[in-house]
Amino acid sequence: MAIDVRQAVVLGCVVGYIALLFIVGGVGKWVKLKEKTLTDYFRPSKFAPFWAMWFAMGANMHTAFCIPGSMGFYYLHGVGFTAHFIWTVGTALIFMYLVGPRMHLISAKYGHVTLSEMIGDFYKSKWLAAFVALFVSAANIAYFTANIIGPATLLSFGTGGLIPFDIAVWLIVIIVIGYTLPFGFRGVFYTDILQGAVMLLATWGAAIFMLSMFNWNTWALFSKAYEVAPKHLTLPGGAGWFTPQMWFSWAFFAITIHWGIQPRNYQYYQLAKSAEDVRKNALWIPIYLSAIYVPVVILGLATKVLMPTPPATGAWTGPDAAFPTIMAQYAPALLWGVLIAGSMAAGQSTLDSDLVAHSGMLVNDVYKALLKREASQAHYLAVGRIVVLILGILAGYISIYAAKLPIVTMLVGMAGTFVMTLLPAVLGAILPMGRFKITKWGAFLGIVAGAIVGLVTTFPTTLGLPSWLLNPYGYHSALWTFLANWIVAILVSLVTPPPPQDSIERFHAFLDRELKALYPPAKAKA
């Protein structure tokens, strides 16, 4: 097959990105394990410079939805996507600020490897830890595919089919396995720094180019967008989806909460050199999380102006295909290549941390805690690497062969909502609530109730239920999930035995002392 210059440049960018990835994430003593232990592989701690956390954690948090998903979202809905400020700022300045330093302090004190181990330790239940590990892994495994399918589609499209979709999927997965399998979360961290930089470069570079097509005149761009698609400049947007009810219930309940407590974030909180660094990162990271979406308004609306109806024929069709089609047609080859590499970076930077974090929970809190309790660290480390490999291959397999199965589409849509149901269990462990305590049964049944209500209000007809149960009264299913989750967690906690006094001492009293020492209250200091 003959390769034209444009394809060659795109391939060069992709190969260059992959080479850089392995140089940063696979070479040098900084990524090598310091000890051959589960802890050092799955949850290394206290080595990440503050500035690097900003790039790395930002890349880790932004998924493939960032590139190319958000452009397609803007193209379809319009400026309603600025709802992203609800989560790009709210997640960091509310949830990460609140839970991050506490998780760092607790893990440093008691050596928990995973989020589920921390939960199990507070509630004194290995079964709850195992349940959380299995539940979150089952919920998120299908979501891994979202971070593969989007970039793989773009890679295949961008190379003009030179790299078929199936090969693109395995390429993305194998690269991630290549640096996570030997180096665990250290490999994740160093590659995420690079990926975070590539993502910023790709989105801002594309926006600068797109603006040049409108003579650098944003006024002209918005005016033209108003002529072509007036609904795109207000609510409920081009597809009528962004009603006031949906605006707040979707952005806050479906995204803001789970984004702050995802298992991969737990690992990240431990990388910082101190709890104070975790706190400061929560203050600074909204700049990264928001800034990456600022240029997307230009990309989405400019695409709408240049291509008012999405491509109906060709290699890629539908709203998500509009932006790549425009870029493939007009963008300089180098920029087009950087954008495709940026999309791979967006997906891989989340997939890598997800692979390691979830493998860690399955090995530490299911295999080690329940199935094979007495084995060497070398054994657990080997099993950990095998699980990373299995999860990676499973995600690749689902992306190619099972992405359209009902169970997979259900899980992709529900992953964030399911993770959100961990909130009572997490807050119960690390935030004192006076005399009221979340209990083991409250945490467990809260998760179960939230998951059931989430499924019923997202896929009622699939489950044979009335269609009015879909996002009842116009509010996103995540709001109803949140209500069921907390109401059941609180009611059950009121009538079941509280966590042992030992847990209160080890978690709440310990955090109280640590935080008061770090941040003395104004009166005490005066």
Partner 1 sequence: MSEEKPINHLIPWTTRGKLLAIYAVVFEFLLMFVAPIVANVPHSIGGFPGLWVFTNIVGWTWIILGIATGYMKR
Query: What are the residues binding partner 1 (CB under 8 A)?
Result: 79-80, 82-83, 85-86, 88-90, 93-94, 97-98, 218-219, 222-223, 226, 230, 233-235, 244, 247-248, 251-252, 279-280, 283-284, 286-287, 290, 294, 297, 431-435, 501, 504-505, 508-509, 512, 515-516, 518-522, 525
Min dist. Cβ of residue 214 to partner 1 (A): 12
Min dist. Cβ of residue 99 to partner 1 (A): 11
Q: 313: which residues sit within 8 A by CB, 6+ positions away?
A: none
Min dist. Cβ of residue 493 to partner 1 (A): 15
Residue closer to partner 1 by CB (options 227, 374) is 227
Residue closer to partner 1 by CB (options 89, 465) is 89
Residue closer to partner 1 by CB (options 495, 524) is 524
Min dist. Cβ of residue 476 to partner 1 (A): 12
Min dist. Cβ of residue 106 to partner 1 (A): 14
Min dist. Cβ of residue 39 to partner 1 (A): 28
Residue closer to partner 1 by CB (options 235, 491) is 235
Q: Which amino acid is at 337?
A: G
Residue closer to partner 1 by CB (options 83, 181) is 83
397-402 contacts, C-beta under 8 A, 24 or more apart: 398/141, 398/142, 398/144, 398/145, 399/145, 399/148, 399/149, 399/152, 399/169, 399/173, 400/165, 400/166, 400/169
SS3 at position 401:
helix
CA distance 492 to 441: 7
CA distance 365 to 371: 9
**Taking Cα atoms as reference points, which of 156, 197, 207 lies closest to residue 346?**
197
Min dist. Cβ of residue 427 to partner 1 (A): 9
Residue closer to partner 1 by CB (options 49, 230) is 230
Residue closer to partner 1 by CB (options 93, 490) is 93
Min dist. Cβ of residue 451 to partner 1 (A): 25
Contact predicate 90/256, CB 8 Å: yes
Residue closer to partner 1 by CB (options 32, 516) is 516
Maximum Cα interatomic distance, the chain, rounded to a whole number of Å: 76
- What separation, in Å, do the N-terminal and C-terminal C-alpha atoms of the chain show? 76
Q: 15: which residues sit within 8 A by CB, 6+ positions away?
A: none
CA distance 119 to 428: 9
CA 489 distance to own-chain centroid? 25
